[in-house]
Amino acid sequence: MAEANNSDFLILITIFVGLGVIILVFLLKWIKQEQSNKDNTKNDKSAKSKSSSTETSGKHGKKEQQAAKPKKKQLTERETRRTARANEKGFNHPWLLATLKGHTGRVLDMDFSANGKYLVSCGDDRTVFIWGAKELANKDRKSLRVNIEFDYATHVKWSPDCKAFIIHRFNENCLEVYKVDKKKDGWLTASKAVTFPKGHDTDVIGMGIASNGKFIMTCSNKTDMIVWDLKGEKLAKLDTFLMSTECAKISPCGRFIVASGFTPEAKTWEVVFDKSGDFKEAKQVPQLNLGGHSSGVYDVAFDVDSSHMATVSKDLTWRLFDTKVNYKQGQDARLDISGRYESSSSKSLVALSPNAEVLVVATANDLQFYSTMTGKLDSTVENISNEHITSILFDASGKHLLVSSDKQIRVFLNVPGYRCAIAHAKEKLKEHQTSATRERLQQLVKESEDFLKNF
């Protein structure tokens, strides 16, 4: 018993001594640190008094220094402001037809109404703007600002009848319908009409309304896609099976939904209604999947009648497909042409002119125009703004390309479109044509050549 007590005592002593040593080491360290901190502050103080003494010693020197310092600061501020202004205002390009100003935050999405009369845009400044689209180049163009309460819209689309637009609210993560009415003076007013229930748990990356007015589509950045009726009832919930989804759009014909993301193939669904107009199903159409890339697909685009679809991929290529195929008989979308584009490793967007003759890739703040006849780069427009391009959109005539990046929407003339029109006409003139067609084509070539003389 006594022996055991003894050894217990020994252990206790060892522990106490050990603890004592540890505490001592910490104390020493702490004292050292305190000392060095004091030294530092001392050094600072002495340095300060030194510099202030040099300042006071030369009276003129002090005044000059004091006067010079803020002046220099002001100058650099003014300079930076000036360069910022130069970048905003000063971006100029022979093809730049107009700049739509009104948003005070980044413009995120744009859409033309089906009747071609209006452009709608939304931004992170909590506003939606409607612009008179017939007078885009006119400084006196009309516009209407609609405020989105406590939130902002990431997506905006016109309803096919042009009597409403729908937005996707970012914070609420839900869809909202705004009614658009004509005022007595002919211009418009807009008011909130319906708010849909929340459909997705994560960010929505795509929203659309079918041109036939039969359904609305939203898709999250994961893999859940919803087909809605116009009243906010869910018709179908789909899984994109894309791992993560970056783009989801309804084709202009209103029949297909195309989505792309992490996988090297964009997927296509057909939304089917029965003869009485009731929703039947949304089914995958593997024949119209757009593949052949070796990496994820950032974005897809359509021509006016959905007979061509284009993809742009992380693998630095774009692909143009002929989708006017008999897919119901098992015919696959056919690759027309593909090309490589330049990128500084940011997400890229693609747009197709309504006649599918010009394909535009937007990457960072640059535009690259390609001829879909040759696949070759026609031109680039660089450094449009300090911020990345958020959306690109051809108008129905194909003569203008709208680009949003910062607070402004820039309207560019589609000059490459004229060159492509000449090339296509000349190609057709090689074949046998009726004299009327011949004349029309020759006229087209002449008019386009005249137009191009200005650039």
Residues that bind ligand NAG (CB under 6 A): 202-203, 221, 244, 382-383
Whether 226 contacts 236, CB under 8 Å? yes
Closest to ligand NAG by CB, 246 or 395? 246
Rg (CA), the chain: 32
CB of 379 to ligand NAG, least distance (A): 11
**Token reading at 57:** 């010693």
Report CA-CA distances (Å) from 158 to 186, 299, 341, 360.
18, 21, 31, 23
Least separation in angstroms between CB 311 and ligand NAG: 19
Looking at beta carbons only, is 310 or 384 nearer to ligand NAG? 384
Question: Which residue carries 């690759």 as its tokens?
Answer: 335
Give residue for tokens 């409607």: 130
**Residue 370 near residue 82, CB atoms below 8 Å:** no
**If you ran DSSP here, which 8-state letter would residue 216 be given?**
E
**Of residues 17 and 243, the one with the C-beta less far from ligand NAG:** 243
Least distance to ligand NAG, CB of residue 374, Å: 23
Residue number, 39 or 203, with CB nearest to ligand NAG: 203
Q: How far is Cα 180 from Cα 376, in angstroms, rounded to an integer? A: 43
β strands within 88-184, DSSP E: 96-100, 107-112, 118-123, 127-132, 143-147, 153-158, 164-169, 174-182
Nearest one of 111, 197, 112, 116 to 155, comparing CA atoms = 111
CB of 303 to ligand NAG, least distance (A): 29
Q: For residues 297 and 309, which CB has a smaller minimum distance to ligand NAG in the complex?
A: 297
Query: Residue 411 is inside which H or E element, if any?
Result: strand 409-413
CB-wise, 185 or 201, nearer to ligand NAG?
Answer: 201
Nearest distance in Å: CB 309, ligand NAG: 24
Question: What is the nearest approach in angstroms of ligand NAG to the Cβ of residue 289?
Answer: 22
Q: Select 221 or 284, whichever has its Cβ closest to ligand NAG.
A: 221
Nearest approach in angstroms of CB 360 to ligand NAG is 17
Q: How far is the CB of 202 from ligand NAG (least distance, A)?
A: 3
**What is the residue-wise DSSP string for 354-381?**
TTSSEEEEEETTEEEEEETTT--EEEEE
- For 319, the enclosing helix (H) or strand (E) is strand 317-322
Residue 42 and residue 49 in contact, taking contact as beta carbons nearer than 8 Å: no
Residue 147 vs 202, nearer CB to ligand NAG: 202
CB of 254 to ligand NAG, least distance (A): 28
> What CA–CA distance (Å, rounded) separates 265 from 18?
67
In one-letter notation, the amino acid at residue 93 is: H
The smaller minimum CB distance to ligand NAG, of residues 82 and 182, is found at 82
